[in-house]
Chains A and B, each alone.
Chain A
Amino acid sequence: MVDQPSGAPVADERIQRQSGLRRAFVRPELGAMAGAVLVFVYFAIVAGGTGMFAADGIMNWGVVSAQFAIIAVGACLLMIAGEFDLSVGSMIGFAGIVIALLSVHMGWPMWASIIAAFIVAMLIGAANGYLVIKTGLPSFIVTLASLYILRGLTIYLSISTTRQTIIGGVREAAQGDWLAALFGGKVLGFVFSWLADMGWIATFQAGNRAGQPVVDGIPMLMIWAVALIIFAHVLLTRTRFGNWIYASGGDARAARYVGVPVDRVKIAMFVFSAFCATIFATCQVMEFGSAAADRGLLKEFEAIIAVVIGGALLTGGYGSVIGAALGALIFGVVQQGLFFAGVESSLFRVFLGVILLLAVILNTYIRRLITGER
């Protein structure tokens, strides 16, 4: 050990300060921030008068964005750790069917069904990770296999037990269940009642809910999304484990050499991805009151696109949770905004493809700025 120098460090006059602009430019979430602003400005102009930015309109795209955000957070940490999970969509369908089968078909209490679904899904996530680590195969291939295996199993399980691919009756089974309320309920209803009483948000004018506010609370889905974003952001930027996530994705061999448990980190991120997928599935099952074997189709790609728009590199080691959340917000706003603006909804996919391409090009450029590669 070298002896420590005495005295506090002094500022070095030879250090040239970088301009704030340039520093901001190499932040991963910058592109997503600019994109989000653009998207809001655009829809404020073309759909400003349609109620898109009234309370119920905001809730509309807010919920969709929150759905994207929940799976994007899982995909984000996993991608920064250098891996993909293509089985997220299948996992959503699978976890939903597991909950419905156990609770409705087998008569388990709802809380036990939910916990069981989480355990099974996270075990599958761990198995994905373990296979990737042990075989050394690209996670792309391993999780592509689980995409098919899980989807097939989900349909098989559902049909062989109930002869249907949709299992209803979940809402009835969830009545009064403490854990189900954590996923299906709404909170802060009184705030919205108060806001409506003050005349700040609209109320229904007719029908059996006349006089009630158009928004009667914040769905737990949104609470989960915000909680996951905060948790993942703090984990990534403020903890030792977060540094290990960056290191595992940046260069697994270099990380191993200094003692970072790369295998454990990667497997943990696969488990976290499965955890996020199961939260998504549970919220969806509670909202619809049913589970269907085809739920979650293509969600894995939407999650990955949101993460990439958020500035993460497909090669791992770089990215941000806030960016991924903004990517999810852009998604939700555009998907619902096109509806408000009366634009043909199939154009949403065109938009996705184009923005994905732009994001990847921008990210590659930023990567060069950071690393000084030519």
Chain B
Amino acid sequence: MADNPLIELIDIKKQFGPVIALNGVSVSVMPGECHCLLGDNGAGKSTFIKTMAGVHKPTSGEIRMNGQKIDFANPRDAMAAGVATVYQDLAMIPLMSVTRNFWMGREPRKGWGPFQFLDMDRANQITLEEMRRMGISLREPDQAVGTLSGGERQTVAIARAVYFGAKVLILDEPTSALGVRQTANVLATIDRVRKTGVGIVFITHNVRHALAVGDRFTVLNRGKTLGTAKKGELTPEQLQDMMAGGAELAELSASLGGTV
């Protein structure tokens, strides 16, 4: 693992009117690292990744890419800099074909002047290629995304982001709506992408999913970082406790027979 982080967010604060959503959060992502961001609902995970993705501007704090301070005016800026986000629910348009989804917004064209047409052959071929690399064989590239499973849809979105040059890939709860097998597939995809040197920010509130692929873990609670730990430094129980405010959950957990 390289020593220089791809992206660093230092002491990010974000206020919405009187509400302090983030109160000093610092996270860095190394190349080829899967950095898990954990936190319960309302901990500030969404606000934080939206700041990283250029949707929100931080009230204070600094974002650095490759050591250089950078400001994202909008999501396009962030994408241009190589920060891509795969949102859980708005990754894909179900009625459109896999190819049309894959290339949406960046369709390849051939021809000249006003006669520039979609290069569907090339688009289809590259889509099939990229999907196969992610371990999904499509029946055909013009099948609708709606026919894919939830896990496959996430994978198409991840493949798309990687193909278009993402250096930092933010995954917003990619596994939260998935079954066991599909979750395993998505986690395998994350692992595959990580090995190509892309830095991944994996947002989840499922400790087991995080531990399965994570290299480092940062826990957010009430808009603050509770700390960052490396793999092996924490047990699942400790992570779970940090996420939900320790003592309370321990009590709850005991009453449920330790299954939470």
Q: Which of A250-285 contact B (CB under 8 A)?
A: 250-251, 253-255, 257-260
Interface-facing stretch out of B7-15, B96-104, B213-221 = B96-104
With a cutoff of 8 Å between Cβ atoms, the chain A residues found around residue B75 in the complex are: 257
Partner of A373, one of B76, B96, B116, B146: B146
Partner of A250, one of B87, B93, B103, B109: B93
Flag whether B91 is at the interface (Cβ < 8 A): yes
With a cutoff of 8 Å between Cβ atoms, the chain B residues found around residue A371 in the complex are: 94-95, 144, 146-147
- A14 CA to B137 CA in the complex, in Å? 8
Flag whether A239 is at the interface (Cβ < 8 A): yes
Partner of B118, one of A238, A367, A373: A238
* Most chain B CB inside 10 Å of its own CB: which residue of A243, A247, A260: A243
14 contacts between A and B (CB under 8 A): A2-B162, A9-B129, A14-B137, A15-B139, A16-B139, A238-B117, A246-B95, A246-B100, A250-B95, A251-B93, A257-B75, A313-B95, A318-B95, A370-B146
Kindly provide the distance from the CB of A233 to the nearest chain B CB, expressed in whole angstroms.
12
- A26 CA to B140 CA in the complex, in Å? 14
With a cutoff of 8 Å between Cβ atoms, the chain B residues found around residue A344 in the complex are: none
With a cutoff of 8 Å between Cβ atoms, the chain A residues found around residue B93 in the complex are: 246-247, 250-251, 254-255, 317
Contact B104 A255 (CB under 8 A): yes
Flag whether B79 is at the interface (Cβ < 8 A): yes
Kindly provide the distance from the CB of B127 to the nearest chain A CB, expressed in whole angstroms.
10
Kindly provide the distance from the CB of A2 to the nearest chain B CB, expressed in whole angstroms.
5
With A15-B138, A370-B95 already in contact, the answer to whether A254 and B100 are too (CB < 8 A) is no
Flag whether B253 is at the interface (Cβ < 8 A): no
Please name the residue on chain A nearest to B92 by beta carbon. Answer: A254
Contact B105 A12 (CB under 8 A): no
Q: Which 10 A-B pairs have the closest CB atoms?
A: A371-B146, A250-B93, A258-B105, A259-B105, A254-B90, A240-B107, A238-B117, A251-B93, A371-B94, A317-B95
Kindly provide the distance from the CB of A15 to the nearest chain B CB, expressed in whole angstroms.
5
Kindly provide the distance from the CB of B198 to the nearest chain A CB, expressed in whole angstroms.
8
Q: Which of A8-24 contact B (CB under 8 A)?
A: 9, 12, 14-18
Flag whether A372 is at the interface (Cβ < 8 A): yes
With A239-B117, A259-B106 already in contact, the answer to whether A254 and B91 are too (CB < 8 A) is yes
Kindly provide the distance from the CB of B177 to the nearest chain A CB, expressed in whole angstroms.
15
Please name the residue on chain A nearest to B55 by beta carbon. Answer: A257
With A2-B162, A12-B132 already in contact, the answer to whether A370 and B137 are too (CB < 8 A) is no
Flag whether A5 is at the interface (Cβ < 8 A): yes
Partner of B116, one of A14, A18, A239, A253: A239
Flag whether A1 is at the interface (Cβ < 8 A): yes
- A367 CA to B147 CA in the complex, in Å? 11
Contact A17 B139 (CB under 8 A): yes
Partner of A257, one of B87, B118, B129, B140: B87
Kindly provide the distance from the CB of B224 to the nearest chain A CB, expressed in whole angstroms.
28
Given A2-B133, A240-B116, A251-B90, 13 more pairs with CB closer than 8 A? A16-B139, A18-B140, A244-B104, A247-B105, A254-B90, A254-B92, A254-B93, A255-B93, A257-B90, A259-B105, A370-B95, A370-B146, A371-B144
Flag whether B68 is at the interface (Cβ < 8 A): no
Contact B109 A240 (CB under 8 A): yes
Contact A5 B147 (CB under 8 A): no
**What is the 8 Å Cβ interface bit string for chain A, positions 52-67, against chain B (1 contact, 0 not)?**
0000000000000000
Flag whether B165 is at the interface (Cβ < 8 A): yes
- A216 CA to B8 CA in the complex, in Å? 76
With a cutoff of 8 Å between Cβ atoms, the chain A residues found around residue B128 in the complex are: 9
* A interface list, Cβ under 8 A from B: 1-2, 5, 9, 12, 14-18, 26, 234, 238-240, 242-244, 246-247, 250-251, 253-255, 257-260, 313, 317-318, 367, 370-373
Flag whether B196 is at the interface (Cβ < 8 A): yes
Please name the residue on chain A nearest to B144 by beta carbon. Answer: A370
Please name the residue on chain B nearest to A259 by beta carbon. Answer: B105
Contact B137 A15 (CB under 8 A): yes
With a cutoff of 8 Å between Cβ atoms, the chain B residues found around residue A238 in the complex are: 117-118, 120
With A12-B132, A317-B95, A318-B95 already in contact, the answer to whether A258 and B118 are too (CB < 8 A) is no
**What is the 8 Å Cβ interface bit string for chain B, positions 132-163, against chain A (1 contact, 0 not)?**
11000111100010110000000000000011
With a cutoff of 8 Å between Cβ atoms, the chain B residues found around residue A17 in the complex are: 139
With a cutoff of 8 Å between Cβ atoms, the chain B residues found around residue A1 in the complex are: 163, 165
With a cutoff of 8 Å between Cβ atoms, the chain A residues found around residue B162 in the complex are: 2
- A181 CA to B132 CA in the complex, in Å? 56
With A247-B104, A370-B95 already in contact, the answer to whether A2 and B116 are too (CB < 8 A) is no
Please name the residue on chain A nearest to B197 by beta carbon. Answer: A2
Flag whether B4 is at the interface (Cβ < 8 A): no
Kindly provide the distance from the CB of A5 to the nearest chain B CB, expressed in whole angstroms.
7
With a cutoff of 8 Å between Cβ atoms, the chain B residues found around residue A260 in the complex are: 104-105
Flag whether B235 is at the interface (Cβ < 8 A): no
Please name the residue on chain B nearest to A240 by beta carbon. Answer: B107
Contact A239 B118 (CB under 8 A): yes
Contact B118 A2 (CB under 8 A): no
Contact A12 B137 (CB under 8 A): yes
* Most chain B CB inside 10 Å of its own CB: which residue of A26, A246, A258: A258
